[in-house]
Structure 1
Amino acid sequence: MSDTEASDVSLGGETLKATLAKFTMAVAGLVGTIVFARLLGPVGIGGYYLLMTVIRLSTRPVGGLSTAVQKRLSESGFAVGEAMTITTSAALAWTALNVGVAYLLRERLKSFVGFEDAVLAFGVLLGTLNLFILYQGAISATGRIGWSRWIDTTRSYLTLPAQLALVWVGLGAAGMAYGEAIATAILLVPIFNAAAAFERPTLETAKSIWEYAKYSIPNRYLSRAYSELDILILGVLLTETAAGHYGVAFRLSIPAMFIAMVASSGLFSRVSNLRSKDEPIAEDVHNTLSFTSLFAIPMLFGGAVLDRQLIVTLYGSEFGPAAPLLTGLLLFQLVRTQSSPLEKVVGALDRPNVMTRVYALLLVVNTIIGVGFTLWLGAIGVVIATILAETLRYAVLAVYLRRDQPVFSLFPRALIAQLFSGVLMGSVLVGAKTVVRVDSWLILGGMIGGGAVVYFTVLFAVSRRFRETVLGTLDDLYPAWRDVLNVE
């Protein structure tokens, strides 16, 4: 692995590169969903999604192990080669165990996913994904989240033609699994070369990794249960239609989290590295919290104004009831953009046990109020419950961190400028909506683009911190830009 440590890397520059990768990858995902839904129909693509559900459950322990790897390898001076030997062996053993179980239950697995090659498809895709997830965590430990995310994005763009070719020759849903496995295996070569460094492990290194993994692994399951709880409550208490409305609204809200997702990962490695060297971390936490809501704020205000137009234009009039759900979920994502970095800081301070207790609390609270509010208010009730639960997560983490790190500023001034810009943008959209009828893709696109221009123009004008961050990030990515544009 590289000798570069997370604190040596520009978090702003890496976040920008990783966020661009996220958006680029989202395009591939959207195109793939549309293409294969048309080629395979709901039954065929449904079988692939069911197989992926089983695989995601099976990769959770390796995902938790990857978090432990990222934590330990981000610590200055940790035994990299020993850690990679231990975790690679564990990932391979876990894969073998899962494939064995899948073979024993092969008839049930075939019946569940609906195609014959279920066990083979499960095995090859699980094996490649487990190693990919593990080595991606090792690369992220160095702070190079931009490179890590672009590797993942490249995987998405290799997956699409591989899947298309295999589906085209008649392999159906199994071909989609094989296609993703092939693309993942190809990208394993560079990611393996970057992360691999094997040495004979010691018991001390194994204990250190396990001390973290014994919490990060169940945390993966708890966080997944927390994120899937809404759709489960709707499916049990209401109808498939309500779950469908929630699903499309949630998908539209996901880009609000892009910056927070990638910045939180970089912050995790950076804080862990700084803490291992007894260096201060408050500035990095403050800088990250200042801009993790950069997309969520305009999306909330824009979504509140254009919620129905967005839903109906994209999905059709039958999805109109999803409009209020979209506004609520955008508010949830805004709170989440502030709570997610705090969760990563807690983990980076070597307190994964705190997150285990927090997620256990959230599951109980969200289940109780989610069921009650859904029975009382319908689908919007589960959204309100989720907002309250996420607010509770933020409050608990904030109180914990303020006690452990009293110098933290949990509400940066940059957020005030973003909220001001968002309110102004929303006001402009309300005015434009009274003049222009939003009834086509072209007009909707113009409204969204115009709102974005207003938001970022106002923010650039009123926030010196935003200006400095933008220009500083450009300096990190392309130092010669000032000479090219003749700017001081």
Structure 2
Amino acid sequence: MRIGQTSFVVFASKLVGSALGFVATLYFARTLGASVLGHYALVLAIVGWLALGGQLGISSAIVKRISEGNEPAAHFTAGMIVVAALGLVLSIGALALRGVVNAYVGTQVALFVALLLLIRLASSVVNAGLKGERHVHISGLLMPVKTGFRSAFQIGLVLTGFGLSGMLLGHAIGAVLAVLVGAAFLSIDVRRPSRRHFRSLFDFAKFSWLSGLKSRSFNDVDIVVLGALVPSALVGVYSVAWSIATFLTLFDSAVSSTLFPELSHADASAEHDRVAGLITDSLTYGGLIVIPGLFGGIVLADRLLRIYGDEFTQGATVLGLLILASLVYGYQKQLMNALNALDRPDVAFRVNIVFIVTNAVLNVVLVFWIGWIGAAIATVTSACIGLGLSYYSLRQLVSFAVPTGELSLQVIAALSMAGLVGGGRYVLESFDINHNAFIVVSLTAFGAATYFLLLFAISKQFRTTVIANTPDQLPSVLDTFTTK
């Protein structure tokens, strides 16, 4: 399967999964309110942070060692043993400290934290095995499976009156089913590992674990800080804004997931030109969705959030900042992905330390200083610093081209689209069309179509990429563009 097609399969899978999650979140926001969503977000944040301690970079190490093709079964088994042992210790610890956990969240959730932690760690091992075998598309397809099951069970349980407990239990059931489906597609055997297999994993993981901490820092440090300093309702609004921003990062996540094993394989084969080309490709298409999402999101921010309820519109400024942070962080993620794929987790480690410390310190300082918007500003600032450091570090190892021309064309198409969407909003509102969902859906669909048509028209590389990765030939009318 071609890389472009694989990226699209992963993206489409994530898109379907996120769409299902959007419907569920919308229902919970309107049914349970921002406070319950705030509790739910805090539980997932705690689980995410504990999962870092349960992995210690082992999942990334599993992907790396399996993709190299050197005794994959033994490396996979060694990783599974380590993650299982750490997960049991941490889940028992969460139960032992249930008073602290419950007090922080504001309700009785410690048992759910322990359960969700074990399930998330099992999921990380299964996904690592699939990615290491270069079955990234299968790993991607697990997302809609998990989200679909999760959303169905969550909605059913909430409907029957279980509230927050129903959301958490439904989350657990959906994740378990996804793990079972993923495990069925693993072709790797379980084989008794030796000490050198554990050592090989730890040699990579001792640096790469910080990449997971960096990702968790970007996604959850602000949520964790806000949970301690502001009411749970504001945490709920902030988490909804984050969910919209995260939705726009689906494609860049698909690109990085697809390219990691390809970069690792190319580096192991000493294909230096291919490595440089893959890095350039990751930068070319990493912001393909987030760039128009930024400008469109700014134009429609208040109406997007009003879909969840009037109390969520106070997060309009936060939403714009978080989309900007996601765009910057997306490019940083592509560069850090390359560093790890090139077996230089030591370099990524140093960059990640600066990013994590900066993000944590800025979040605390700015939230104290200017309130909850300070968390979004801190996230943007730390992402910019991380991008600069990761670019400098990778350029010391690989000579790659930054696709400034293609990025400029994407910005031009996005700005043009935003202008047209803003004009469309003005026209609809001037005719007293105030059905919010209709305005958001129609203008979002119009904006997406406009952006991609404009980009297809002005970017020869984008046209070529679209046609090259289409399973069947495009109609001849589209093919004629490539000759212009």
TM-score if structure 2 supplies the norm length? 0.85
Cross-structure match for 2:147: 156
Does the 8 Å CA contact 2:34/2:237 hold for their aligned counterparts? no
C-alpha distance 450-270 of structure 1, shift in aligned 2 (>3 A): same
C-alpha contact 2:358 2:382 (8 A) present in aligned 1:
yes
**What corresponds to 2:49 in structure 1?**
57
| Amino acid in structure 1 at the alignment position of 2:77 | T
Per-residue displacement from partner, 1:84-118 (whole Å, max 9, x unpaired)? 22111112222332343345445666777788895
Distance 1:92 1:462, change over 3 A: same
Q: What letter is aligned with 1:388?
A: T
Quick one: which amino acid aligns to residue 458 of structure 2? V
Aligned to 1:98: 90
SS of 1:78's partner is: coil
Deviates more, 1:45-54 or 1:185-194: 45-54
Task: Decide which of 260, 284, 292 is 2:286's aligned counterpart.
Answer: 292
Distance 1:57 1:259 in 2: 24
Q: Is the 8 A contact 2:83 2:121 kept in 1?
A: yes
Whole-Å separation in 2 of the counterparts to 1:187 and 1:239 = 33
> Is 2:22 the counterpart of 1:30?
yes
Distance 1:332 1:202, change over 3 A: same
Residues 138 and 425 of structure 1, relative CA distance in 2, 3 Å threshold: same
Q: Which moved more, 1:265-274 or 1:107-116?
A: 107-116
| Residue in structure 2 matched with residue 255 of structure 1 by the alignment | 247
- Aligned residue identity for 1:58: L
8 Å contact from structure 2 (residues 43, 109) kept in 1 = no
Given the superposition, is the C-alpha separation of residues 357 and 28 from structure 1 closer, same or farther in structure 2, using an over 3 Å criterion? same
Q: Deviations over 1:214-244 (max 9, x none)?
A: 2233442343234333345556666666655
The answer as to whether partners of 2:301 and 2:320 remain within 8 angstroms in 1 is yes
Which amino acid letter does the alignment assign opposite residue 347 of structure 1?
N
Check whether the contact 1:369–1:385 (CA below 8 A) recurs between aligned residues.
yes
Q: Following the alignment from structure 1 to structure 2, what is the Cα–Cα distance between the partners of residues 288 and 447?
A: 29
Q: CA deviation at 1:426?
A: 2.1
Letter in structure 1 aligned against 2:348: M
1:283 aligns with 2:274: no
Distance 1:316 1:189 in 2: 36
Change (3 A) 1:457 1:486: closer
Q: Say whether 1:388 aligns with 2:381.
A: yes
Gaps of 5+ in 2: none
Secondary structure of the corresponding residue to residue 322 of structure 1: helix
2:265 to 273, 281, 300: 273
Q: Is 1:304 the equivalent of 2:304?
A: no
Aligned counterparts of 1:398 and 1:86: Cα–Cα separation in 2 = 33
Match of residue 307, structure 2, among 314, 324, 331: 314
Whichever residue aligns with residue 351 of structure 1, its letter is R
Shift of the 214–367 alpha-carbon distance from structure 1 to 2, 3 Å rule, reads closer
The 1:450–1:187 alpha-carbon spacing in structure 2 relative to 1, beyond 3 Å, is: closer
Mapping of residues 60-139 of structure 1, within 5 Å:
60-63=52-55, 64-75=57-68, 77-105=69-97, 119=111, 121-122=112-113, 124-139=115-130
Deviates more, 1:335-344 or 1:178-187: 178-187
Task: Point out the more displaced range, 16-25 or 123-132.
Answer: 123-132
Q: Answer whether contact 1:18 1:145 (CA < 8 A) is retained.
A: yes
AA partner of residue 85 (structure 1): T
Most deviating of 318-327 and 255-264: 318-327
Contact map agreement 2:36 2:236 (CA 8 A) in 1 = no
Shift of the 298–175 alpha-carbon distance from structure 1 to 2, 3 Å rule, reads: closer
Letter in 1 for 2:287: S
Whole-Å separation in 1 of the counterparts to 2:114 and 2:364? 37
Q: Which amino acid aligns with 1:291?
A: Y
Between the aligned partners of 1:84 and 1:15, the Cα distance in structure 2 is: 24
Matching of residues 188-267 of structure 1 within 5 Å: 188-195=179-186, 196-232=188-224, 243=235, 245-267=237-259
Give per-residue Cα distances to partners, 1:417-445, cap 9 Å, x unaligned: 21111121122234334433173222332
Shift of 1:401: 1.3
Q: What amino acid sits opposite 1:384 in the alignment? A: I
- Say which SS state the counterpart of residue 436 (structure 1) adopts: helix
Match of 1:13 in 2: 5
Check if 1:462 corresponds to 2:462.
Answer: no
Q: What per-residue deviation string (whole Å, max 9, x for no partner) do you get for residues 315-338 of structure 1?
A: 445444422322222222221221
Scaled by the length of structure 1, what TM-score is found?
0.84
SS of 1:453's equivalent? helix
Contact 1:229/1:367 (<8 A) preserved? yes
The code of the aligned residue for 1:265 comes to: S
Q: Aligned partners of 2:43, 2:369: CA distance in 1, in Å?
A: 35
Cα pair 1:115 1:174 within 8 Å, conserved: no
Distance 1:301 1:66 in 2: 35
- Cα distance 1:485–1:142, how it changes in 2: closer, same or farther (>3 A)? farther
**RMSD in angstroms over aligned alpha carbons?**
3.4
Stretch deviating more after TM superposition (204-213 or 318-327): 318-327
Q: Identity over aligned residues, as a percent?
A: 27
Aligned length: 472
Q: 2:135 aligns with which of 115, 130, 144?
A: 144
- Residues 381 and 346 of structure 1: is their aligned pair in 2 closer, same or farther, counting only changes over 3 Å? same
Determine the C-alpha separation between the residues in 1 that align with 2:107 and 2:371.
Answer: 36
How far 1:33 sits from its partner (Å)? 3.1
The 8 Å contact of residues 34 and 234 in structure 2, kept in 1 or not, is answered as no
Cα contact 1:166–1:176 (8 A) shared by 2: yes
Larger CA deviation: 290-299 vs 52-61: 52-61
Partner of 1:5: none
Question: In 2 relative to 1, CA 271–178 (structure 1 residues): closer, same or farther, beyond 3 Å?
Answer: same
Q: Distance in 2 between matches of 1:207 and 1:256?
A: 38
**Alpha-carbon spacing, 1:160–1:330, altered in 2? closer, same or farther (3 Å):** closer
State the Cα distance separating 1:139 from its structure 2 match.
0.6
Contact 1:293–1:334 (CA under 8 A) maintained in structure 2: yes
**Inter-partner Cα distance in structure 2 for 1:143 and 1:13:** 13
Letter aligned with residue 468 of structure 2: G
Partner of 2:328: 335
Q: Is the CA contact (8 Å cut-off) linking 1:118 and 1:174 kept in structure 2?
A: no
